[in-house]
Copies of this chain bind each other. A is one copy, B any other.
Amino acid sequence: MSANVPTDIVFSFTGLIRRGGETGPHKDGWGIAFYEDKGLRLFHDSEESSRSRIAGFLQAYPIRSKIIISHIRKANRGKVALKNTHPFVRELWGRNFTFAHNGQLKGIKKEKLGGFTPVGTTDSEFAFCYLLGKLRQQFKTAPDDKTLVRAVQNIFADLATRGVANILMSDGNLLFTHCSNRLVYITRRAPFGKARLLDADVAVDFKQATTEKDVVTILATRPLTGDENWDAYAPREYRVWKAGETLFRAQ
C-alpha cells in the first residue's frame, strides 16, 4: 500500500491472509511492515496466515500507515522458518528498507555481497542484500529521490534477468515496485465507492473511512476485490509510488 494519509489496511489484509492456507497455497509463513515516520512496526510469523493468531490480532487492531508491505509465503528455496519470512528489513543510510519478493532468481547466490548478509536461506533475502550492497557501493549517503529511483531501476532490471522478480520495496519514503509476470494495482480516490473481497465474505464502503483528499493505492500479485477494476503491470514494468501516486514509470 502507498497512501497520502495514514491509512489502515485491515480490509485488504483480511483478504490476503486467507490466501495463506485457506483460499491460496501460500501457507509457509507471512509478514507485514508498517512504516510510522522512519520507524517500523514489524510482524512475522511462520504459521499459516489464515490461522495465525498475530494475523487475527492485526485484523482487529487497525494500524495506520502511509506505506505498508505484506507478504504471504509459499516456500521454494529455503525451509519454512521465521528467518525466511518476508518482508526482509535492513538499515541503509539511516533508513529502514523493507523488501518482499515473489518468484525465484536463479544463480543469485553466486553473486558477491557488499556488507549485507542474509540471516535466512531464501534467494529473496540474498537478492535484497545484493541490492543494498550495490546501493551502498554507489552512494555513501542517501542520494536524492530521482537518483535513487534510477539506481534501483537498474538493480531490479539486473535481478529480473535471473528469473521472476515481482518485487515490493520501500525506504519509508518511496515504494519501489517491479513486475516480471504478476502485479496488479488499484488507486482509490474520491468519489469513493464500495468493494467486496474475493477471498472472504467481507465488504466495505470506503466513503465511511476516508476524506475527499485521500489517495490510497493497493498492489497485489492478484486482485483482492471482484467488483473494482484492477490494473495489471506490463511485464518488466518498473514503477515507483509516493503518497498513493505514480512518481516514476518505465518498462
Instruction: Give, as a whole number of angstroms, the nearest-CB distance from A199 to chain B.
Output: 24
* A54-B34 Cα distance, complex, nearest whole Å: 14
B81 and A39 contact, CB distance less than 8 A: yes
| Residue from the list B38, B45, B53, B81 in contact with A119, Cβ < 8 A | B38
| A24, B133: Cα distance in complex, Å | 43
Q: Report the minimum CB–CB distance from A122 to chain B (whole Å).
A: 12
Q: Is A6 an interface residue (CB 8 A)?
A: no
B91 touches A40 (CB 8 A): no
Q: Which residues of B contact A118 (CB under 8 A)?
A: 94
- Beta-carbon contacts under 8 Å, A88-146 to B: 89-96, 115-120, 136
Chain A's interface size range is 35 or more
Copies of this chain assembled into the complex: 2
* Chain B residues with CB under 8 A of A43: 41, 43
- How far apart sit A38 and B78, CA to CA, in the bound complex (Å)? 13
Q: Say if the beta carbon of A12 comes within 8 Å of chain B.
A: no
| Residues of the B chain whose Cβ atoms lie less than 8 Å from the Cβ of A94 | 117-119
Contacts A40-B44, A90-B91, A91-B90 known; A96 to B82 CB distance under 8 Å? no
Using an 8 Å CB-CB cutoff, how does the interface string of A13-47 with B read, 1 for contact, 0 for none?
A: 00000000000000000000000111111111110
Check A82/B115 contact, CB under 8 A, given A57-B57, A61-B54.
Answer: no
CB neighbours (8 Å) of A84 from chain B are 39
Whole-angstrom CA separation of A38 from B85 in the bound complex: 12
Query: Smallest Cβ distance from A136 to chain B, in angstroms?
Result: 8
Query: In the complex, which residue of chain B has the Cβ closest to the Cβ of A35?
Result: B82
**A218 vs B228: C-alpha distance in the bound complex, in angstroms?**
53
A116 and chain B: residue at smallest CB distance: B91
Determine whether A83 belongs to the interface, using a CB cutoff of 8 Å to chain B: yes
Q: Please give me the residue from chain B that is nearest to A95 by CB atom.
A: B119
Across the interface, A117 reaches (CB within 8 A) one of B42, B45, B57, B93, namely: B93
Task: Kindly list the 4 A-B residue pairs having the minimum CB-CB distance in the complex, ordered from nearest.
Answer: A39-B82, A39-B83, A94-B117, A36-B82
